[in-house]
A and B are shown apart, each in its own frame.
Chain A
Amino acid sequence: MHKKWTNITNKLASPLLLILLILLWQAAVDLRWIPRYLLPSPTDVIAAFFSDFSNLMAQAGFTLQETFLGMLIGVCLAFLTAVAMDRFEFFYHAFYPILVITQTIPTIAIAPLLLIWMGFGIAPKVVLVVIVCYFPISVSLLDGFRSVDPDTVRLMKTMGSSRLQIFRYVKFPASLSRFFAGLRISTTYAMVSAVVAEWLGGTNGLGVYMTRVRKAYAYNNMFAVILLTSIISLLLMKAVDLLQKFCMPWEKSEKQFSKTN
């Protein structure tokens, strides 16, 4: 009984704290501790969110398109790289340091250059998303391929299986859980990177819109964009979780089994 109570309070702690902070924010604005033109109150933001809803959705559509396209390309490239690095030791030694370097490039610094090179269209945004996704996904895939028990590979060989069969039946499915962990990290970065690239120049998207309302000092609209960006990021993460559950039905039973034992 006691355990159940701590469980409930643990679950409630975070939403309660969030509500408390929002109330505090509302009070700070309503009681004029902070002037309204500098910080809109939560109710202002929500009002702006709904009055501007159709425009926000249209802008989000552009940003999501860049995000998805970038992630798709990023995942494909990461997969090819990981397979090559797993198969050829030479590739591993040649590529791994470069992979790490791509991760150390500050996206904020490279985004303006991409814009100069590729113009104000969709291309520089997609490329930035690709760069951001590539590293976590390729590394997690590679780790997954390499996590396979060598005895399993030995057993597969005694069954006479080819390299491709070992990949298909053992290495690829074994890498899935790490792949999804990498994908979840990339999803959050990807959306934010697309927004950052749009900030710097473009005609459509949440980032472009955010810059526009900032310049107009319409901070209530700006906060509405921020709110939408984080809602979409959360939904994307949830979508990754659902996709993982769908692709890895055995994980659920593993968890259940370890609980009953």
Chain B
Amino acid sequence: MSESFLLKAENLSQKFSGTTIFKDVNLYLAEGELICLLGVSGAGKTTLFNVLSGLQMPRSGHVFLREKEITGEAGHLAYMLQKDLLLPYRTVLDNAALPLLIHGETKAHAREKAAAFFPEFGVSGTENKWPSQLSGGMRQRVALLRTYLSSEGAALLDEPFSALDTITKSAIHHWYLNVMEKIKLSTLFITHDINEAILLSDRIYILSGTPSTITAQIKITQSRPRSSDFPLTSTFLDYKKQILSLLKLNGAS
């Protein structure tokens, strides 16, 4: 492959007080791609994200965004957590516009720019509400919009939907696939939910072992847009079997 990658991590390792969390992690993210990082709890997924986003300095290795090194530099990659972390004292619109304000845009301009995306993200009409007036699913949508507005083209999502109940979750998956068709946000997605990984991603990295590292990579070739029946097909189940056996082989459970 000769194309240049949007985001690339080379030989990342992290160690805390003698314990190696992960080592020799190599991964890349191409423009417009949606990648899942799948691993059991405790595999160091969140630590890896902290390193990628620049919140932590890795023990060794490098992170590049469009060929430019950003190792240990925060502010380049958008980061979204399981908690929506909307600020209760800002209206929904002002929450979404916050990253633009931080990057130095004027209040009026930031609001205008953020408001333009409300229909696309399915949150029209909530602009002047307080976050406490929204349901969990709606809050997560606003959080994703905020993430999108703070990204320089790539976003890290750390189990963004895992706090939602099953029904809301499947609705938001459907919504998410739709939004992604339109905005093409290049995304690296952490999850421990195998179904979620197969349904949403173009590629899946399996993170396992102690200390963990990327042990396998699976390409999901199912075309997009994916229908909500995709999880019921035999192709889906084949992927699932493959992933389960990979996780087992590597002694994760």
A interface with B by C-beta (< 8 Å): 149, 151-152, 154-161, 165, 169-170, 173-174, 176, 248, 250, 253-254, 257-258
Contacts and interface: CB of A to CB of B under 8 A. Distances in A.
Contacts of A152: 85, 87
A170 B74 CA distance: 18
Contacts of A174: 89
A258 B88 CA distance: 14
A159 B55 contact: no
Nearest to A162: B102
28 contacts: A149-B83, A152-B85, A154-B55, A155-B81, A155-B85, A158-B54, A158-B55, A158-B78, A158-B79, A159-B75, A159-B78, A159-B99, A159-B103, A159-B150, A160-B103, A161-B102, A165-B102, A169-B90, A169-B98, A169-B102, A170-B87, A173-B87, A176-B89, A253-B129, A253-B130, A253-B132, A254-B88, A258-B132
B53 A169 contact: no
B74 A158 contact: yes
Nearest to B134: A257
Interface string B64-82: 0000000000111111010
Contacts of B55: 154, 157-158
B133 interface: yes
B98 A250 contact: no
Which applies to chain A's interface (DSSP): helix, strand, loop or mixed? helix
Contacts of A157: 55, 74-75
Given A158-B55, A159-B102, A250-B88, A257 B132 contact: yes
Given A158-B53, A160-B75, A257-B132, A149 B85 contact: yes
Contacts of A257: 132-133
A175 to B, nearest CB: 10
A174 B86 CA distance: 12
A248 B89 contact: yes
Interface of B is mostly: loop
Contacts of A253: 129-130, 132-133
Given A158-B74, A159-B75, A176-B89, A254 B83 contact: no
Nearest to B150: A159
Contacts, number: 67
A159 B76 CA distance: 7
Sorted from nearest, which 7 A-B pairs have the closest CB atoms?
Answer: A160-B75, A158-B79, A173-B89, A254-B132, A161-B102, A250-B130, A253-B130
Nearest to A169: B98
A159 B133 contact: no
Interface in B102-116: 102-103
A117 to B, nearest CB: 43
A253 B89 CA distance: 11
A158 B130 contact: no
Contacts of B98: 159, 169
Contacts of A169: 87, 90, 98, 101-102
Interface string B21-64: 00000000000000000000000000000000111000000000
A206 to B, nearest CB: 38
A250 B88 CA distance: 7
Given A158-B55, A159-B98, A161-B102, A250 B89 contact: yes
A18 B56 CA distance: 62
B248 to A, nearest CB: 32
B154 to A, nearest CB: 12
B132 A250 contact: yes
Contacts of A173: 87, 89-90
Nearest to A149: B85
Given A151-B83, A157-B55, A158-B77, 6 more contacts: A149-B85, A159-B102, A161-B75, A169-B101, A253-B132, A253-B133
Contacts of B132: 250, 253-254, 257-258
A209 B88 CA distance: 48
A172 B201 CA distance: 39
A149 B199 CA distance: 32
B74 A151 contact: no
Contacts of B130: 250, 253-254
A156 B99 CA distance: 8
B89 A151 contact: no
A243 B133 CA distance: 23
A157 B55 CA distance: 8
A204 to B, nearest CB: 42
B79 A155 contact: yes
B96 to A, nearest CB: 12
Most buried by B among A151, A154, A250: A250
Contacts of A176: 89
A248 B99 CA distance: 22
